[in-house]
């Protein structure tokens, strides 16, 4: 800068009144020599002074820049604020990383990730348990709804068959059964019902789905006269699949009570006097678990019974 000023003072072209060419040349030299804005202002001030001495108007209108300490401080504060904002929005700012490359604090730290995994596992476990409970409740409700409206028919009994072999309800498990209560000296109703049961089995045996799946059972409610041999001879007149059961009076009464069967005989009888037994006229259809499915009265035909039984078997 000072080199340019001294050059301007010594140069006759720049300091003479030779015209505007000298002014432009001086201006070019001073602009090239000035290394900062305040130095350029000093050069331009000296040039204006020289021009005034030679009768020229002010050619350079240049004011030096003042540097205010407060302005510089404000600029520094703005710079710091900008840096702080950058750090504020930088999630990893000021955090140290561990050997895994994860921050030591925050949601992405090992502790944060571990807590998230524990919470997720807990939610999954609770959801699974609740789902299992809901499914179990649904099954129990379905089973309860299935039993609504069905009478409690059937239960344990201890009797003997027509071959005088002990027989219980467990011997009927695993197969569908048609159970009828009657007595061997019945003149009309029992034979009709046993024939109808036999005809029903004949119809069912024509269908591969129901063939040999239903067993007929005859239980006497007159054990005083119907011993095993009497029952065996009586059933020869009906379907060959029939199983005949009898027992003591107490055993027969217990079986009739389990199946809700009513029976009675005259209160006073003479020795060797013939009599009739009053009893319920129903045939009970039971499933392989010994549970009640349906009941058929005297008014139902063998065709109706066969269709109903087939429908129940298909729905099981």
Is residue 11 in a domain? yes
135 and 167 housed in the same domain: no
For the chain, the domain total comes to: 3
pLDDT digits (tens, 9 = 90+) for 205-217: 999 999 999 999 9
Contacts of 143 (CB under 8 A, 6+ apart): none
Is residue 82 in a domain? no
166 and 246 housed in the same domain: yes
Average pLDDT score, the chain: 76
Contacts by 262-265 with C-beta closer than 8 Å and gap 24+? 263/181, 263/221, 263/222, 265/222
312 pLDDT higher than 80: yes
186 and 307 housed in the same domain: yes
Q: Confirm whether residue 162 is marked as ligand binding.
A: no
pLDDT category, 84, cuts 50, 70, 90? low
Is residue 124 in a domain? yes
Residue 15 structure tokens:
């300091």
The residue range of the domain holding 33 is: 2-53
Contacts by 196-202 with C-beta closer than 8 Å and gap 24+? 196/301, 196/302, 196/305, 197/238, 197/239, 197/283, 197/302, 197/305, 198/238, 198/239, 198/242, 199/302, 200/302, 200/305, 200/306, 200/309, 201/239, 201/241, 202/239
Cβ(37)–Cβ(64) below 8 Å: yes
Q: Confirm whether residue 184 is marked as ligand binding.
A: no
168 and 141 housed in the same domain: no
Average pLDDT over residues 239-247: 97
- Give residue 277's pLDDT: 92
Report the share of the chain in percent with pLDDT over 70: 63
Cβ(285)–Cβ(175) below 8 Å: no
Residue 90 structure tokens:
């930088």
Is residue 144 in a domain? yes
186 and 234 housed in the same domain: yes
Q: Confirm whether residue 279 is marked as ligand binding.
A: yes
CA dist., res. 172 & res. 219, Å (int):
13
Average pLDDT over residues 32-60: 52
CA dist., res. 123 & res. 108, Å (int):
20
């Amino acid at each position: 800068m000072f080199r340019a000023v001294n050059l301007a003072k010594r140069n006759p072209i720049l300091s003479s009144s030779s015209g505007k060419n000298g002014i432009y040349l001086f201006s070019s030299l001073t602009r090239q020599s000035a290394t900062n804005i305040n130095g350029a202002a000093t050069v331009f001030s000296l040039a204006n002074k020289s021009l005034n001495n030679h009768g020229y108007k002010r050619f350079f209108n240049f004011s030096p820049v003042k540097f205010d300490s407060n302005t510089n401080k404000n600029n520094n504060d703005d710079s710091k604020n900008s840096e702080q904002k950058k750090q504020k929005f930088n999630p990893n700012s000021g955090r140290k990383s561990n050997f895994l490359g994860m921050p030591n604090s925050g949601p992405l730290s090992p502790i944060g990730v571990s807590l998230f995994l524990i919470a997720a596992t807990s939610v999954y476990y609770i959801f699974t348990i609740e789902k299992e409970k809901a499914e179990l409740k649904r099954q129990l409700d379905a089973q309860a709804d299935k039993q609504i409206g069905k009478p409690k028919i059937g239960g344990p009994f201890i009797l003997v068959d027509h071959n005088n072999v002990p027989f219980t309800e467990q011997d009927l498990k695993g197969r569908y059964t048609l159970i009828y209560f009657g007595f061997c000296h019945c003149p009309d109703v029992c034979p009709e019902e046993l024939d109808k049961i036999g005809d029903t089995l004949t119809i069912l045996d024509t269908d591969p789905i129901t063939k040999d799946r239903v067993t007929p059972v005859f239980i006497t409610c007159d054990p005083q006269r119907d011993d095993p041999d009497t029952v065996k001879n009586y059933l020869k007149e009906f379907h060959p699949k029939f199983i005949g059961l009898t027992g003591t009076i107490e055993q027969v009464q217990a079986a009739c009570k389990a199946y809700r069967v009513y029976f009675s005989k005259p209160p006073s009888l003479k020795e060797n006097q013939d009599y009739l037994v009053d009893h319920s006229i129903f045939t009970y259809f039971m499933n392989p678990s010994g549970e009640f499915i349906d009941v058929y009265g005297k008014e139902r035909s063998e065709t109706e019974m066969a269709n109903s039984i087939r429908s129940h078997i298909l729905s099981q």
